[in-house]
Structure 1
Amino acid sequence: MLGGAAIGAALGVLAAFLGQVRAPEGLLLLLILAGGVAGVFTASRRILHVGAGTLALLISLCLLTPVLRAPLNALALSQPPQKADAIVVLGGSVQCGTSALESPSLSRLLAGLNLWRAGYAPTVTVSEQSDIFSATCPKMSVIEREIIRGLYPENGPRVVTLSNVTTTTDEAARVRDLAAARGWKQILLVTSPSHSRRAAGIFASQGVTVISVPAPETRFDFTLPLPSDRLYALQTVLYEWLSRIKKEVGGTPER
C-alpha cells in the first residue's frame, strides 16, 4: 500500500507540473489514495508498476535527449514583421498574490512595445481576463497599462483593451470586431513561440489577417541544451497537444 501510494504521489506531481493542473492538491490526494489501493492487490499493483515504469522511460528519453526539438519547433510560427494597423499582445498569466505578470506575459508585452517603438503599428492591444478562473485576481490589462505608462509616461502607444476574455478564441473574436469597426486590415500577433502557430490559426479562422511575431521564450532555452530546459519543453508540448485534442472533441482550450 505504501509503495502504491508513493507511486501515486509521484504521478500527482507529474500531473500537476506537466499538465499545469489548476487544483493539484485534490488531484495529488486522489492519486495517492488510488495508488495505495492499487498497491494492495497483485494484479493492480503489477499494472501500476508497469505503467509507472513505462512513463518513467518515456520521460527519461525526453530529459536525456533532444527528441523534443522537432515537436517544439513545429508549434512555432515566426514571420518577419511588416507595417500593420495594430499589435495584438495575447494575454498570458498573472501572479494573483503579488499582482505581477509572469515571465511569458511580460515577454509578450515588451516584444509588442518593441514593435510599436520600431514604428510597425500605432496601436497595442492588451487582454483583460474574465473572472471564470479567479474573480479576485488582478486584471492583467490593468497591470500591463501601468507598465506601459511607467515606460512611456508621454507619447506612448494607443492602448486598446480586449475585455472579458478567457481563451485565445475570445481574443480573436474581440480583434475581429475591432478590425471591422476600425478598418484594421492587418495585425501583428505577439505571443509565446510555442503558442504562435495555434494562435495564428485561431485568428485566421475568425477572418483576421495576422503576421505572427513571437516574443522571446523566457521559461527555457528553445534549443534545449539542458535537462531542465527539456523538462519545461515537455510541459509546453503536452499542453499544446492537449489543447488541440480538447478543441477537436468539442472542449475549449484554456488559453
Structure 2
Amino acid sequence: MFFILSKIAAFFISPSNAVVFLMTLGVALLFTRYAKTGRRLATLGLAALLIMAATPLGGALMAALENRFPAPPQDAPPPDGIVVLGGAMDEHITAARGRAAFNEAGERLLAFVELARRYPQARLVFSGGSASLTEARFTEADAAAVFFREAGLAPERVLYENRSRNTWENAVYTRDLARPASSERWLLVTSAAHMPRAMGIFRQVGFPATAFPVDYRTTGHIGWSLRPDKHIADGLAFFDTAAHEWIGLAVYHWTGKTDALFPAP
C-alpha cells in the first residue's frame, strides 16, 4: 500500500506537475466569476515555473545532495561486496529490443562493471525489480543481466534481487539476499543525488555500506547552475529530480525509514 500511495503522491507533488495544475486551474477560473483568483493562480504558477527552470535554485538543491557523500579514496581496502541499485535501465525497451536500454542514470551500471573487474573477488549484487503498478514479467534485474552479457561480465557472477520497487525494498531485500557479515566492507553504488537517502535507508535496515556515488549532474559549485538550460523542459526536469530526493528524504525520515533527516558520512 505504501508503494502505491507513494507513486500516486509523487505524481501530484512533483513540482512541475503541481505548477501545471495550478496554472490550468487559474486559466479555467478566468472564464468564471472567480476570474480575479484565476489571474492570481496563473501568475503564481508562471512565476514558480520560471524560478524552477531558469534560476540557480535547482542546481543548489542538487549540488547539496551530490556533495554529501564523497567518493572513497583510491587507496581504500578492497571491498568484500558491491551493491548497485536499480533505476538506471528501461526494462520495457530492453525487453522489446533485446538490447540494454539505459536512462540518464546509466552510469550506475557502467561503474558497477568497472568495479567488478577491479575487484574480481568481491561479491556482486544488483538490486532492482519493477516500479510498475501492474505486475511486470520483465524486471530491471533481467535487463541488467542483458547488459552484463553485452559488457563481458558473467551474469552468473552477480546475485540478482528482483523484487524491490523502491529504495526501502532495495535495502531490505538486498540485506536478506546478501546477508553481509559485520566484519565485511560493502560498496553501495547509486547516483550521487540519491546517495543520502540510500545510505540512510541501508543503515536503518542494518546494512552498513560505504558510499560510492556516481552519475553526477553538477560540478559541485552552485555557480554552475547559473548557465541556463537550452530548453525550459530540461530545467524543470533537473529541478524535479532534486526536489524528488529532498521530498523523499523528508517522507522517509518521517515514516522511520532513514536514520536521519539528511544522512551524513
TM-score (norm 2): 0.70
1:88 shift after superposition: 0.8
Shift of 1:63: 3.1
Residue 6 of structure 1 corresponds to: none
Structure 2 counterpart of 1:189, one-letter code:
L
Aligned partner of 1:226 in structure 2 is 228
Q: Distance in 2 between matches of 1:71 and 1:248?
A: 18
The question of 1:241 aligning with 2:241 is answered: no
Q: Classify the secondary structure of the residue corresponding to 1:209.
A: coil
Q: Which residue of 2 aligns with 1:59?
A: 49
Relative to structure 1, the CA distance from residue 141 to residue 20 in structure 2 (aligned partners, 3 Å threshold; closer, same or farther) is: farther
Q: CA deviation at 1:105?
A: 4.5
Q: Which runs of 5+ in 2 are unaligned?
A: 1-10, 259-265
Task: Show structure 1 runs of 5+ residues with no match.
Answer: 1-14, 22-27
**CA distance in 2 between partners of 1:252 and 1:42 (Å):** 46
Specify the alignment match of 2:79 in structure 1.
Answer: 84
Whole-angstrom distance in 2 between the partners of 1:116 and 1:172: 20
Partner of 2:92: 96
What TM-score do the two structures reach when normalised by structure 1?
0.72
Answer whether contact 1:113 1:124 (CA < 8 A) is retained: no
* SS of match in other structure, 1:103: coil
1:79 partner letter: A
C-alpha spacing 1:187/1:137, structure 2 compared with 1 (3 Å): same
Q: Deviations over 1:104-160 (max 9, x none)?
A: 443211111112222286222112414752424621111111211222266x78201
Contact 2:139 2:162 in 1 (8 A): no
Structure 1 contact 85–184 (Cα < 8 Å) conserved: no
AA partner of residue 59 (structure 1): L
Q: How far off its partner does 1:161 sit?
A: 0.8
2:208 is aligned with 1:216: no
Instruction: Compute the displacement of 1:188 (Å).
Output: 0.8
Q: 1:33 to 1:213 in 2, by over 3 A?
A: closer
Evaluate the alpha carbon distance shift between residue 98 and residue 69 of structure 1 in structure 2; reply closer, same or farther with a 3 A threshold: same
Matches within 5 A, 1:184-203: 185-203=184-202
- Seen in structure 2, the aligned counterparts of structure 1 residues 88 and 48 have a Cα distance that, compared at 3 Å, is farther
Shift of 1:242: 2.6
Tell me which of the two structures has the higher relative contact order, counting C-alpha pairs closer than 8 angstroms and 6 or more residues apart: 2
Task: Note closer, same or farther for the CA distance 1:97–1:32 as it changes in structure 2 (3 Å cut).
Answer: farther
2:251 aligned partner, one-letter code: K
| Overall identity of the aligned pairs, in % | 24
Aligned-pair RMSD on alpha carbons?
Answer: 3.6
Shift in Å, 1:236:
0.7
| CA distance in 2 between partners of 1:132 and 1:62 (Å) | 28
Match of 1:75 among 61, 65, 70: 65
Tell me whether 1:42 sits opposite 2:33 in the alignment.
yes
Q: Conserved in 1, the CA contact under 8 Å of 2:23 and 2:46?
A: no
